[in-house]
Structure 1
Amino acid sequence: MRRRTFLQSALAVPTLSRLWAAAEPGQLRIQAVEILQVEGQLTIEEPQPSQHQVQPLHVYPEHRPQPIRGATSLVRRTRRLRSLYLRLRTNQGLDGLYGPIDAEAAVVVDRQLRPFLIGKDPLAGEALWDQMFRLNRHSRSGHYMMAISAVDNALWDLRGRYLNVPVYRLLGGPTRSRVRVYGSCLGYSVDPPAAAKMAAQLVQEGFLHQKWFLAYG
């Protein structure tokens, strides 16, 4: 290493040291775990009639909806929406947000994880995840795991705000500058003539990929 390069590297060390000094554990604490209800209206165009998504219960013929026959058309509708969000508040006025979350997961957050999280260091993400996972023997799947995931995402948001960097920087930085999108066909008829027409339309609009919900194959 040349002397000039070494000196330039050495000059950068105090800046990095100050960054991690600001993140020393023991200073920041979770003060509140809140479930927020957000309400509003959404006006969108939806395919009608709408093709259903497959549910595990549909293995029983008596509970299996019939697939749509024929074409679907777009209908403009205004719907009232109600969603739940998780907010972690700290003793330094810094918040971490995540959502929306399912109501079932929100119950786990509020009744089981909230008492455990109060007073904890939000910068200790790895330790908190492991401790939440070990807090309940039923945490390996289902709504408990979804609740842990919600808290973990809110903690990532909080750490990004604390260090004043986007979360993707904390996760290793960007790997690409552009991302391809696909055309979602959720709700559209899978009847072959109607599906072929919709697929051709998406190709004309420039979509290279499509996602179809073919129900039972």
Structure 2
Amino acid sequence: MSTELPESSVPPPTAVDEPSSAPTRRTFIATTTAVGGVVVASGAIGGTLLFDDEVAAAEAPPESRVSLTVNGTRRTVTVDNRTSLLDLLREHFGLTGSKKGCNAGACGACTVLVDGRRVNSCLTLAVRLEGAEVTTIEGLADGDELHPLQQAFIDEDAFQCGYCTPGQIMSGVGCIQEGHTGSPEEIREWMSGNICRCGCYVKIVRAVEQTAGRK
């Protein structure tokens, strides 16, 4: 009698387990930790170089001492060479009448007079104004008596929100001093660097014209 088992009943040979090539979660964490330790150690070894770079980056920017006259008062201050006249007036001298609008010289809200000429104070470096005379909106009135153009702005209702008004008035004063007030068209041309988002241009021109006529 044959003792051979049928082919279907013979159990398949047991395969020898081979190590998996894919890393396990435990292996990945252990490897990452080891690599991280090496990186940290390398940073500690080269710490002096990194520290020197950080110190160099944190060094204070160059400063200069500048003396100028603002609204009749002599001022002397040491400032970062990158400080604009606008920031000097607002942040160092507390003269916040001049407004920071675009900070790019496009709106005219920061207009002041430097040695009698109109400038965008946001584009003017303070350190270049040694010995200059600066007039801001705060320096126009004579005590309680408003400058004629300030009064004209009130009389003509030449403002709404008022944000651009200091720059408009300073530009208008410069425009009058320069003699560019022969006609409304000329005033508009020479005041075109001052933007009023409320659209009070007609009344602004009228106020400048009224003041120029008085003079």
Q: What TM-score, normalized by structure 1, do the two folds share?
A: 0.23
Higher strand share: 1
Which structure is richer in relative contact order (CA contacts within 8 A, separation 6 or more)?
A: 1
Decide which structure has the larger Cα Rg and report it.
2
Q: What TM-score, normalized by structure 2, do the two folds share?
A: 0.24
